Structure 1
Amino acid sequence: MRPVRELARLLLPVACPCGEPDVRWCARCAALLSGAPRRVERGAPRLDRLDGVAPVPVWALTAYTGPVRDVVVHWKDRGRADLDGLLAPALRRAAARLGPALAPALAGLPGDPPAGPVAVVPVPSTAAARRARGREPVAVLARAVARGLRDGGVPAVLVPALVRRGRGRDQVGLGARARGRNLERGVRMTRRGARSLGRGAMCLLVDDVLTTGATLAAVERTLERCGHDVLGATVLAATPAPGDRRGNRPEPASGAHPEPVPNLKV
């Protein structure tokens, strides 16, 4: 089999997105995604909805810089679906570690019936992005998050409840204000999603990268208008705030473990 593998590498060369040859991903890039999830919403100005509601808590594995950016770009837009094997397990492990932070909210208030499973809701792409990519990469992450929550003892179910409507362009390359205009009322609930969520679901959002927070804020508002609560969101990586030069990992909000959710709307 070794000659066959060597011939395959000559015909179809493989390399980590960072450039290291002969591996789908290298140990260095994998290590950047191996830590505990960290709170990052303070670096996303558009998460503040300016309506008195605190920004939804967001956890990320690492910063969207350097090799991590290369991995995500190759995975989403350059046909590297094989990187599912790196990114999905990383987010599954992260979600398992979030279980203890979410569990108190799911127990309900005294006298209330036990809450249902967490609805893991992927942030939808535009129709144009889906056609260009031939798939929904974030759905792969959301499936991994649902599995990870169950690994951590939290009942969870994947619910792809939302779609982007209209002709809004993809968010890549847009600034904060343009993202807000592009997303304004541009996310809607599908009939199937409404049936799956039922009434008063508690949702955890999943996206690949947190940039300004405009996308997550739009999705949060859509779910709230439909009567659901958003517990938080989890992403692979977060764009560092301007002037932040602390390296490839977001700083933990406190300590080395995920910070408890302070503003769950239950």
Structure 2
Amino acid sequence: MNFLADLLDLILPEHCAGCGLAPVLLCDACALPLQGPARPARTAPEGLPPPWTVTTYEGPLRAILAAYKEHGRTALAAPLGEALATAVKAALTPHHLPTTREAHRGHDPPSLVWVPSRRLATRRRGHDALRGLVDVAAQRLRTTGVPVICVDALRQRGRVADQAALTARERTTNLAGALDVTSPTQIAGRPVVLVDDVVTTGASLAEAARSLRKAGADLLGTATIAATPRHHPA
């Protein structure tokens, strides 16, 4: 974290996290991509349902997520979490799921399980960024009559390298066997939607899905806020 940049954020008036121009948390233009409908992402490794996503991880969204995750602008959890809720709802739509009334009668509501961040990253940031977005998404879904619960079901078994500079194959190798289920009884036989903030190659989601299925979860689908764009050679 850049100490000088963070100090300036505290001293200077808040500006849009996306473009840095308008004196608001998020201007209309930068917020617009987060308010669109969900669509299946193109990136999906073998055995993983195409993740539902809302926007593309480029331009202002990169700055928005960095401001939320790395620079303490936690108020951005609201628009980001709402976008995640849109993707989760799309992942749930094809399935017959209990209503809020049925859930109260003992039917299992869908569980939202997120890909865990590296422990070092969580300590450095001072907050569990993805968990914050999942909490907002769950609250939004419940207000629309979709009963979901948040389950902290996954943990890292050991140290993994930072994924940012790795190729798709290297990401898959880096994450092989890296995740485990904390308490299989929490999710065995229960409907689960797996969530993350961004899907790049899908390696993190694929490893998480493997762990959940091994523990007996009924994986309904996956959902993210954004997907990295696919660049084709000219």
Report the TM range for the smaller structure's normalisation: 0.7 to 0.9
- For 2:167, the equivalent position in structure 1 comes to 175
Q: Tell me whether 128-137 or 75-84 shows the greater mean CA deviation.
A: 75-84
Matched, 1:196 2:197: no
Of 226, 243, 247, the residue aligned with 2:215 is 226
- For 1:31, the equivalent position in structure 2 comes to 32
In structure 1, distance between residues paired with 2:55 and 2:23 = 25
**Aligned ranges 1:1-266 → 2 under 5 Å:** 11-17=11-17, 18-40=19-41, 42-44=42-44, 47-48=45-46, 53=47, 55-96=48-89, 99-102=92-95, 104=96, 116-191=108-183, 194-197=184-187, 199-243=188-232
Q: Which amino acid aligns with 1:33?
A: L
**What's the offset of the Cα at 1:170?**
2.9
Structure 1 residues 95, 43: closer, same or farther in 2, change over 3 A? closer
**What's the offset of the Cα at 1:31?**
0.7
Number of residue equivalences:
219
User: TM-score w.r.t. structure 1 length?
Assistant: 0.74
In structure 1, distance between residues paired with 2:160 and 2:22 = 38
Structure 1 residues 10, 144: closer, same or farther in 2, change over 3 A? closer
**What's the offset of the Cα at 1:234?**
1.0
Residues 95 and 152 in structure 1, CA contact (< 8 A), matched pair in contact too: no
**What's the offset of the Cα at 1:131?**
1.2
**What's the offset of the Cα at 1:84?**
1.3
Instruction: Structure 2: state its 5+ residue gaps.
Output: 1-8, 100-105
Q: Which amino acid aligns with 2:132?
A: V
Kindly indicate whether structure 1 or structure 2 has the higher relative contact order, using CA contacts under 8 Å at least 6 residues apart.
1
Q: Which amino acid aligns with 2:94?
A: A
In structure 1, distance between residues paired with 2:49 and 2:27 = 33
SS at match of 2:113: strand
In structure 1, distance between residues paired with 2:201 and 2:86 = 25
Structure 1 residues 181, 106: closer, same or farther in 2, change over 3 A? farther
Q: Which amino acid aligns with 1:66?
A: G
- For 1:6, the equivalent position in structure 2 comes to none
**What's the offset of the Cα at 1:178?**
1.4
Residues 96 and 152 in structure 1, CA contact (< 8 A), matched pair in contact too: no
- The structure 1 segments of at least 4 consecutive aligned residues displaced by more than 6 Å after TM superposition are none
SS at match of 1:205: strand
Instruction: Structure 1: state its 5+ residue gaps.
Output: 1-8, 108-113, 246-266
In structure 1, distance between residues paired with 2:51 and 2:177 = 22
Residues 198 and 224 in structure 2, CA contact (< 8 A), matched pair in contact too: yes
- For 1:253, the equivalent position in structure 2 comes to none
Structure 1 residues 244, 133: closer, same or farther in 2, change over 3 A? farther
Structure 1 residues 151, 100: closer, same or farther in 2, change over 3 A? farther
Structure 1 residues 128, 242: closer, same or farther in 2, change over 3 A? same
**What's the offset of the Cα at 1:188?**
1.0
In structure 2, distance between residues paired with 1:135 and 1:27 = 27
In structure 2, distance between residues paired with 1:149 and 1:244 = 40
Q: Which amino acid aligns with 1:189?
A: V
In structure 2, distance between residues paired with 1:98 and 1:214 = 19
